[in-house]
Structure 1
Protein backbone atom coordinates (compact mmCIF):
# COMPACT_ATOMS: atom_id res chain seq x y z
CA UNK A 1 0.00 0.00 0.00
CA UNK A 2 1.24 3.49 -0.79
CA UNK A 3 2.53 5.74 1.97
CA UNK A 4 0.49 8.51 3.54
CA UNK A 5 0.66 11.86 1.76
CA UNK A 6 2.75 14.10 4.03
CA UNK A 7 2.80 17.22 1.86
CA UNK A 8 -0.22 18.37 -0.15
CA UNK A 9 0.22 21.90 -1.47
CA UNK A 10 -1.84 22.19 -4.63
CA UNK A 11 -1.59 25.98 -4.61
CA UNK A 12 2.10 25.65 -5.47
CA UNK A 13 2.32 25.32 -9.29
CA UNK A 14 5.63 23.44 -9.14
CA UNK A 15 4.25 20.90 -6.65
CA UNK A 16 1.07 20.52 -8.69
CA UNK A 17 2.93 19.76 -11.93
CA UNK A 18 5.53 17.47 -10.36
CA UNK A 19 3.40 15.51 -7.88
CA UNK A 20 -0.10 16.76 -7.19
CA UNK A 21 -1.64 16.36 -10.64
CA UNK A 22 -0.67 12.68 -10.90
CA UNK A 23 -2.07 11.85 -7.45
CA UNK A 24 -5.25 13.85 -8.08
CA UNK A 25 -5.97 12.12 -11.41
CA UNK A 26 -5.29 8.69 -9.93
CA UNK A 27 -7.60 9.42 -7.01
CA UNK A 28 -10.30 10.81 -9.31
CA UNK A 29 -10.14 7.74 -11.56
CA UNK A 30 -10.32 5.23 -8.72
CA UNK A 31 -13.11 7.06 -6.90
CA UNK A 32 -15.13 7.45 -10.07
CA UNK A 33 -14.93 3.72 -10.78
CA UNK A 34 -15.84 2.79 -7.21
CA UNK A 35 -18.79 5.20 -7.24
CA UNK A 36 -20.03 3.71 -10.51
CA UNK A 37 -19.87 0.27 -8.90
CA UNK A 38 -21.62 1.63 -5.79
CA UNK A 39 -24.50 3.15 -7.75
CA UNK A 40 -24.79 0.05 -9.93
CA UNK A 41 -25.07 -2.10 -6.79
CA UNK A 42 -27.65 0.28 -5.35
CA UNK A 43 -29.67 0.43 -8.57
CA UNK A 44 -29.47 -3.32 -9.19
CA UNK A 45 -32.23 -4.17 -6.72
CA UNK A 46 -34.67 -1.71 -8.31
CA UNK A 47 -34.25 -3.49 -11.64
CA UNK A 48 -34.47 -6.98 -10.16
CA UNK A 49 -37.59 -6.22 -8.09
CA UNK A 50 -39.57 -5.53 -11.25
CA UNK A 51 -38.67 -8.96 -12.65
CA UNK A 52 -39.18 -11.06 -9.48
CA UNK A 53 -42.92 -11.80 -10.00
CA UNK A 54 -42.22 -12.91 -13.57
CA UNK A 55 -39.69 -15.52 -12.47
CA UNK A 56 -41.93 -17.07 -9.83
CA UNK A 57 -41.52 -15.09 -6.62
CA UNK A 58 -44.79 -14.58 -4.73
CA UNK A 59 -44.02 -11.32 -2.94
CA UNK A 60 -46.73 -8.76 -2.21
CA UNK A 61 -46.56 -5.30 -3.76
CA UNK A 62 -45.61 -3.90 -0.37
CA UNK A 63 -42.73 -6.37 -0.06
CA UNK A 64 -41.49 -5.47 -3.54
CA UNK A 65 -41.49 -1.78 -2.62
CA UNK A 66 -39.53 -2.58 0.54
CA UNK A 67 -36.98 -4.50 -1.52
CA UNK A 68 -36.58 -1.54 -3.85
CA UNK A 69 -36.25 0.93 -0.95
CA UNK A 70 -33.82 -1.05 1.22
CA UNK A 71 -30.57 -0.30 -0.69
CA UNK A 72 -31.22 3.45 -0.40
CA UNK A 73 -32.07 3.22 3.28
CA UNK A 74 -29.05 1.04 4.03
CA UNK A 75 -26.74 3.18 1.92
CA UNK A 76 -27.86 6.39 3.60
CA UNK A 77 -27.48 4.91 7.06
CA UNK A 78 -24.08 3.40 6.36
CA UNK A 79 -22.92 6.68 4.85
CA UNK A 80 -23.19 8.25 8.31
CA UNK A 81 -20.81 5.61 9.70
CA UNK A 82 -18.59 6.04 6.62
CA UNK A 83 -18.18 9.75 7.45
CA UNK A 84 -16.71 9.02 10.87
CA UNK A 85 -14.43 6.20 9.69
CA UNK A 86 -12.59 8.30 7.07
CA UNK A 87 -10.42 10.34 9.46
CA UNK A 88 -9.68 7.25 11.56
CA UNK A 89 -8.69 4.73 8.87
CA UNK A 90 -8.06 6.93 5.84
CA UNK A 91 -9.96 7.40 2.61
CA UNK A 92 -8.01 4.81 0.65
CA UNK A 93 -8.65 2.05 3.19
CA UNK A 94 -12.34 2.87 3.63
CA UNK A 95 -13.01 3.16 -0.12
CA UNK A 96 -11.24 -0.17 -0.71
CA UNK A 97 -13.12 -1.89 2.12
CA UNK A 98 -16.50 -0.42 1.10
CA UNK A 99 -16.02 -1.45 -2.52
CA UNK A 100 -15.13 -5.02 -1.58
CA UNK A 101 -18.06 -5.08 0.85
CA UNK A 102 -20.44 -4.33 -2.05
CA UNK A 103 -19.67 -7.76 -3.47
CA UNK A 104 -21.78 -9.30 -0.67
CA UNK A 105 -25.16 -8.02 -1.96
CA UNK A 106 -24.19 -8.61 -5.59
CA UNK A 107 -23.29 -12.26 -4.97
CA UNK A 108 -26.14 -12.67 -2.47
CA UNK A 109 -28.83 -11.49 -4.87
CA UNK A 110 -27.37 -13.71 -7.57
CA UNK A 111 -27.75 -16.72 -5.31
CA UNK A 112 -31.15 -15.68 -3.92
CA UNK A 113 -32.90 -15.30 -7.28
CA UNK A 114 -31.93 -18.82 -8.34
CA UNK A 115 -34.68 -20.31 -6.18
CA UNK A 116 -38.23 -18.84 -6.22
CA UNK A 117 -38.76 -20.38 -2.77
CA UNK A 118 -36.20 -17.99 -1.25
CA UNK A 119 -37.98 -16.21 1.61
CA UNK A 120 -38.50 -12.45 1.73
CA UNK A 121 -36.23 -11.96 4.75
CA UNK A 122 -33.24 -13.31 2.80
CA UNK A 123 -33.70 -10.56 0.22
CA UNK A 124 -33.98 -7.96 2.99
CA UNK A 125 -30.70 -9.02 4.57
Structure 2
Protein backbone atom coordinates (compact mmCIF):
# COMPACT_ATOMS: atom_id res chain seq x y z
CA UNK A 1 0.00 0.00 0.00
CA UNK A 2 2.81 2.41 0.79
CA UNK A 3 4.36 1.69 -2.58
CA UNK A 4 1.17 2.79 -4.41
CA UNK A 5 0.83 5.91 -2.26
CA UNK A 6 4.47 6.84 -2.95
CA UNK A 7 3.95 6.33 -6.67
CA UNK A 8 0.86 8.58 -6.71
CA UNK A 9 2.74 11.19 -4.67
CA UNK A 10 5.68 11.23 -7.11
CA UNK A 11 3.34 11.50 -10.09
CA UNK A 12 1.52 14.42 -8.48
CA UNK A 13 4.83 16.08 -7.59
CA UNK A 14 5.82 16.03 -11.26
CA UNK A 15 2.47 16.80 -12.85
CA UNK A 16 0.97 19.29 -10.37
CA UNK A 17 3.42 22.18 -11.02
CA UNK A 18 2.88 21.85 -14.79
CA UNK A 19 -0.90 21.87 -14.34
CA UNK A 20 -0.72 24.91 -12.06
CA UNK A 21 1.46 26.87 -14.48
CA UNK A 22 -0.78 26.06 -17.44
CA UNK A 23 -3.97 26.85 -15.57
CA UNK A 24 -2.49 30.14 -14.35
CA UNK A 25 -1.55 31.08 -17.91
CA UNK A 26 -5.03 30.24 -19.12
CA UNK A 27 -6.56 32.22 -16.28
CA UNK A 28 -4.58 35.32 -17.26
CA UNK A 29 -5.62 35.08 -20.90
CA UNK A 30 -9.27 34.51 -20.00
CA UNK A 31 -9.84 37.57 -17.80
CA UNK A 32 -12.61 39.93 -19.00
CA UNK A 33 -10.19 42.60 -20.21
CA UNK A 34 -8.25 40.15 -22.38
CA UNK A 35 -8.91 40.29 -26.10
CA UNK A 36 -10.58 36.95 -26.76
CA UNK A 37 -11.17 37.66 -30.44
CA UNK A 38 -7.55 37.13 -31.43
CA UNK A 39 -5.76 33.86 -31.30
CA UNK A 40 -2.48 35.39 -30.23
CA UNK A 41 -0.92 34.44 -26.94
CA UNK A 42 -0.29 37.09 -24.35
CA UNK A 43 3.45 37.49 -24.05
CA UNK A 44 5.65 39.82 -22.12
CA UNK A 45 7.82 41.69 -24.58
CA UNK A 46 8.95 45.19 -25.39
CA UNK A 47 7.24 45.00 -28.77
CA UNK A 48 4.36 47.41 -29.10
CA UNK A 49 5.26 49.42 -26.01
CA UNK A 50 4.39 53.03 -26.62
CA UNK A 51 7.16 55.54 -26.48
CA UNK A 52 6.69 59.08 -25.27
CA UNK A 53 5.61 61.39 -28.06
CA UNK A 54 8.21 63.79 -29.27
CA UNK A 55 7.42 67.38 -28.39
CA UNK A 56 6.03 69.18 -31.40
CA UNK A 57 8.10 71.89 -32.98
CA UNK A 58 6.99 75.48 -32.38
CA UNK A 59 6.12 76.04 -36.05
CA UNK A 60 3.89 72.93 -36.08
CA UNK A 61 2.08 74.11 -32.97
CA UNK A 62 1.62 77.56 -34.50
CA UNK A 63 0.35 76.13 -37.81
CA UNK A 64 -2.18 73.94 -35.98
CA UNK A 65 -3.31 76.86 -33.83
CA UNK A 66 -3.73 79.27 -36.73
CA UNK A 67 -5.52 76.79 -39.01
CA UNK A 68 -7.77 76.02 -36.05
CA UNK A 69 -8.57 79.71 -35.69
CA UNK A 70 -9.62 79.81 -39.35
CA UNK A 71 -11.73 76.70 -38.98
CA UNK A 72 -13.45 78.22 -35.94
CA UNK A 73 -14.59 81.18 -38.01
CA UNK A 74 -11.93 83.85 -37.49
CA UNK A 75 -11.34 86.00 -40.53
CA UNK A 76 -8.20 85.13 -42.51
CA UNK A 77 -7.10 88.75 -42.13
CA UNK A 78 -6.96 88.35 -38.32
CA UNK A 79 -5.20 85.00 -38.56
CA UNK A 80 -2.58 86.42 -40.93
CA UNK A 81 -2.02 89.24 -38.43
CA UNK A 82 -1.45 86.63 -35.69
CA UNK A 83 1.06 84.87 -37.95
CA UNK A 84 2.95 88.09 -38.60
CA UNK A 85 2.98 88.95 -34.89
CA UNK A 86 4.35 85.52 -33.97
CA UNK A 87 7.09 85.71 -36.60
CA UNK A 88 8.04 89.20 -35.35
CA UNK A 89 8.03 87.98 -31.75
CA UNK A 90 9.98 84.79 -32.48
CA UNK A 91 12.27 85.28 -35.50
CA UNK A 92 13.14 81.55 -35.50
CA UNK A 93 9.68 80.97 -37.00
CA UNK A 94 10.52 83.05 -40.09
CA UNK A 95 11.90 80.05 -41.98
CA UNK A 96 8.53 78.28 -41.53
CA UNK A 97 6.37 81.31 -42.31
CA UNK A 98 5.97 80.38 -45.98
CA UNK A 99 4.65 76.89 -45.19
CA UNK A 100 2.30 78.18 -42.50
CA UNK A 101 0.93 80.93 -44.76
CA UNK A 102 0.30 78.40 -47.56
CA UNK A 103 -1.54 76.13 -45.11
CA UNK A 104 -3.64 79.12 -44.06
CA UNK A 105 -4.43 79.89 -47.70
CA UNK A 106 -5.60 76.30 -48.29
CA UNK A 107 -7.67 76.34 -45.09
CA UNK A 108 -9.22 79.67 -46.10
CA UNK A 109 -10.30 78.21 -49.45
CA UNK A 110 -11.96 75.31 -47.64
CA UNK A 111 -13.74 77.73 -45.30
CA UNK A 112 -14.62 80.60 -47.67
CA UNK A 113 -14.14 79.39 -51.23
CA UNK A 114 -11.38 80.57 -53.58
CA UNK A 115 -12.75 83.99 -54.50
CA UNK A 116 -13.41 85.22 -50.97
CA UNK A 117 -10.22 83.61 -49.63
CA UNK A 118 -8.19 85.47 -52.27
CA UNK A 119 -9.69 88.78 -51.12
CA UNK A 120 -7.80 88.42 -47.82
CA UNK A 121 -4.39 88.01 -49.50
CA UNK A 122 -1.66 90.36 -48.35
CA UNK A 123 2.11 90.21 -48.28
CA UNK A 124 2.67 88.09 -45.17
CA UNK A 125 5.68 85.84 -45.79
CA UNK A 126 5.90 87.16 -49.32
CA UNK A 127 2.95 85.85 -51.30
CA UNK A 128 2.67 82.46 -49.63
CA UNK A 129 -0.93 82.88 -48.49
CA UNK A 130 -1.98 83.71 -52.06
CA UNK A 131 0.01 80.71 -53.31
CA UNK A 132 -1.88 78.47 -50.90
CA UNK A 133 -5.19 79.89 -52.12
CA UNK A 134 -4.19 79.41 -55.76
CA UNK A 135 -3.13 75.81 -55.19
CA UNK A 136 -6.65 74.97 -53.97
CA UNK A 137 -8.60 77.07 -56.45
State the TM-score, normalized to the length of structure 2.
Answer: 0.22
- Structure with bigger helix share is 1
Larger radius of gyration: 2
RCO higher in structure (CA 8 A, sep ≥6): 1
Task: Give me the TM-score of the superposition, normalised by structure 1.
Answer: 0.24
